Structures are given as structure tokens and as C-alpha cells.
Amino acid sequence: MNNIKEFNLKNHNAYCVNSVCSVAWFPDDEKELIELLTDNYDSKRIIIGNGNNIILSKEYYSEEFIILNGCFENIEVSEATIIAEAGATLQQLSEVAMNNSLSGLEVFYDIPSSVGGAVVMNAGTKDGEIKDVLLKVRYLDMSDNVVKEISKDDIGFEYRNSLFQKDKDKVILKAWFKLRSGNKENIKTKMEQYKAIRWAKQPREFPNCGSVFKRPKGRFVGPMLDELGMKGFTVGGAKISEKHSGFIVNTGEATGKDILAIIKEAQDRVRERFNVELEVEQRVI
């Protein structure tokens, strides 16, 4: 198991914010991850996947980080079921499904997330959410250090929410996905179509972490911010995207504080004008 001291997390968060942690650990398998989570339990360790839904608020973290990016990513196929470790990405998962002529994951192809993060957040779009294809999850319950499994129906999935989002003591290790047989070329075509739709609407030319806010009931965040004239609103190196106001982008040397300052300003203005509370979808660390 690799570990690096004074590790810069810039390439491990999608905002590409410069932030250093005291130690970064890269576990290769379940045994190593469980050791990291149960050994010296009093030393607080922060777990991140591939960094696609996080805001690093500090320039330096005395805490140690466990990074499931480029490791802990084994994927197995058993008939129409795919079993993936938490560090695997949705892109890897979708490509494995396609190569095995299995359909059901096309919509997730271009969603930037690890498997673990996708389950925690119930990642998805209007065309489908992770709960639609999930069978069960294997996780470490840190309240008693026991590895357990839970079926989809018991995870309490909601819009961008789940049991794992609410209970931080439960760490996802592995997930099972039930798919169906399909035509490889048709699957590939669908994947590329979903990707093209996202790239046309989203500011992929700048580092960003996707939608910043959860969609309020009966409202859309982008149009509200547009009405408030916040498109292009800038703090330091961070800016509300001119392509899609629901996104904040790093135009250069943005810090976590820059991003959080924009978030607060947007929340304040939306509350004042529309009497709506904007809830942050991204995880602030």
C-alpha cells in the first residue's frame, strides 16, 4: 500500500484546487482499506473517491487522506451482474458493461464519479439514477468494525441522497449492479449520445465538480441565478459558469474559499429574491 507525505491533492479533486494533506494513502484492496479505517481509529482519516463531488475548503489538512482514485478499482462480471470496488469510476464501469454487451449503464458513462460516490449520492440524471441498476452494497460499519451487506431496498435512496450520505460511519467497499443483455454497438451509440448532450450543456472546458446545488422543489437553480444576473459572477479564480449557471468553474488559481464565497453569495441572493434555500450538493471538506 502506497502512502505519500505532504501530498498535493490538486490532481485528485475535480476543481483542481491546490490543497495539501499531511499523508495520502492509496489502498489496493479491501483488506488494506479496512486496515486503514480500523487501525488507529482515533486518527481522523478523510476518504475521497476520484474527487468529483468535493470542495477542498483548506489549503492544508493535518488529517490523513485515503484516496480511492487509480486504486481499489477492480471490476468483475458474472453473467448479467457487474461487481465493482468503490474506487472504480462510472466510466470504467460503463465501458466494462459495453464490452460485455450489457445494457443499463449507458446514462452513467460520462458522469464523473467513483462507484462509491455514485451510490452515496444516488448519482444520475432525469434519465436514470444509480438505484435503478443497483442490487446490493458491501460496506464497513465503523461503529462496530464489521463488514456488512445491504440490499438496494434498504438503502433509503432519495434524490441525491441515501443512507450512506446520512451515516458517515458506513464506508462502501463494493457494489453489485444488475444489467441486461444488449447489442454492443447500440450500447456504445447511446453512451456517446449521453456524453454529447452533457458536453453541449456543461462547462467541461474548465475544472468543475458538476452541479453545485440540489434542485429545489418546483425550481431550477440555473434560471434563478440567471435572473439574478449572477452568470459570470467571480471571486478570485472561481466563477459561476457563463455556459451553465448551475456550475462553478476554476478559471485559474481558485481556492476552496473562493468557491465557498460564491456559494454563499448565491444562497443569500436566492433566499432574498425567491425565498428558496439552496442546498449544496457537493461535499465540503
Q: Which domain CATH number covers 259?
A: 3.90.78.10
Contact present, 222 and 244 (Cβ < 8 Å): yes
Same domain, 81 and 163: yes
Report strand pairing: 20-26 vs 60-67.
Answer: parallel
Q: Is 156 found in the same domain as 53?
A: no
When pLDDT is cut at 50, 70 and 90, the band that residue 40 belongs to is low
Considering the domain architecture, whether residues 255 and 147 belong to the same structural domain is answered as no
Task: Judge contact between 84 and 175, C-beta under 8 A.
Answer: yes
Give the pLDDT mean for 210-214: 93
Q: Measured over all CA atoms, what is the biggest interatomic distance in the chain, rounded to whole angstroms?
A: 54
What's the structural domain count of the chain?
3
> Cell triple for residue 30?
479491501
- Please state, for a pLDDT cut of 90, what percent of the chain lies above it: 84
- State residue 165's pLDDT score: 87
Domain boundary among 39, 67, 95: 67
Is residue 272 within 8 Å of residue 211, measured between CB atoms?
no
Average pLDDT, the chain: 94
Catalytic positions, written as ranges: 160, 211, 281
Residue 66: strand pairing partners = 25, 47
- Same domain, residue pair 45 and 110: no
Q: Which of 176, 199, 222 is the last residue of a domain?
A: 199
171 shares a domain with 115: yes
Judgement on whether residues 80 and 61 belong to the same structural domain of the protein:
no
Report in angstroms the alpha-carbon separations of 94 from 36, 83, 97, 271.
29, 12, 5, 39
Question: Would you state the cell numbers that stand for residue 280, as one nine-digit string?
Answer: 449544496
CATH number at residue 166: 3.30.465.10
Say if residue 167 is in the same domain as residue 254.
Answer: no
Judge if 17 and 43 occupy the same domain: yes
pLDDT of residue 159: 85
The residue among 184, 199, 214 that closes a domain is: 199
For residue 163, give its domain range: 75-199
Whole-prediction pTM:
0.88
pLDDT higher than 60, residue 42: no
Same domain, 110 and 157: yes
pLDDT: is 178 or 125 the higher one?
A: 178
Percent of the chain clearing pLDDT 70 (strictly above): 99
Query: Are 208 and 157 found together in one domain?
Result: no
Residue 185 has pLDDT above 70, yes or no: yes
Same domain, 83 and 163: yes
CATH number at residue 21: 3.30.43.10
34-62 mean pLDDT: 88
Q: Are residues 104 and 191 in the same domain?
A: yes
pLDDT at 172 over 70: yes
